[in-house]
Structure 1
Amino acid sequence: MAVSGGASKGGNRGPRRGGKRRPKVCFYCVDKIDHVDYKDVERLRKYVSERGKIMPRRVTGNCAKHQRQLTIAIKRARFMALLPYALD
C-alpha cells in the first residue's frame, strides 16, 4: 500500500549539530549550599522563565534534592510577594 501526498518518513531532516555537550551541574552543590533560601530573589529569578514558570531539572541542571527545595522556595517567594506569579 503506497502513501500518497505526504512527507516521506526517514528522509533527510537537515544538518544536525554534533559534538559533546557540557554536563549540567547543580549550582547549589557546586557552591556547597545546603538549603535554598526563598529570600534570595536574584538567584531564584534564574530558575523562573520569562512567562513566570519554574524551569524543569533537565533545563536547569539541578540535582533532585535542590530542585525540590527550589520549587518550594519559589512558591514561598511568590506567596510573600517577592516574586510575581506571572510576568507581563
Structure 2
Amino acid sequence: MTNRTVVTLVGKDHTGIIAAVCNYFAENDINILNLSMTTVEEFINMVLIVDLDRYKKTFPELTSDLDDIAKRVGCSIKAQHEDIFNMMHRI
C-alpha cells in the first residue's frame, strides 16, 4: 500500500514551474504515480498523485516546502492525503 497524496498546482504558466515541483519530488524520493495537466491560455492547472513511502520528512514539512516553491514560482501548490481528498470530494 502506498502513502498517496494529491498535489494540486494552479497559476500563470511560465518556464520553470513544472521543473521546480518535479525537481523537489526527485530530490526527496517522491514518486509521481499520475499527472494531469491542463493549460488554458496563460494559466496552468496540474494535479499529481504522488507516493510518499520513501519520503524522509514529515507531511507538514512537505506542505511548507511546497509553499516555498509556490512563492518562488508565483503559483498555488497544495497537498492533501488521498483519503482526505476523497472524503472532501464524495458526492
Give the structure-1-normalised TM-score: 0.29
Larger radius of gyration: 1
Indicate the structure whose relative CO is greater, using CA pairs within 8 Å and at least 6 residues apart: 2
More strand, by proportion? 2
Give the structure-2-normalised TM-score: 0.29
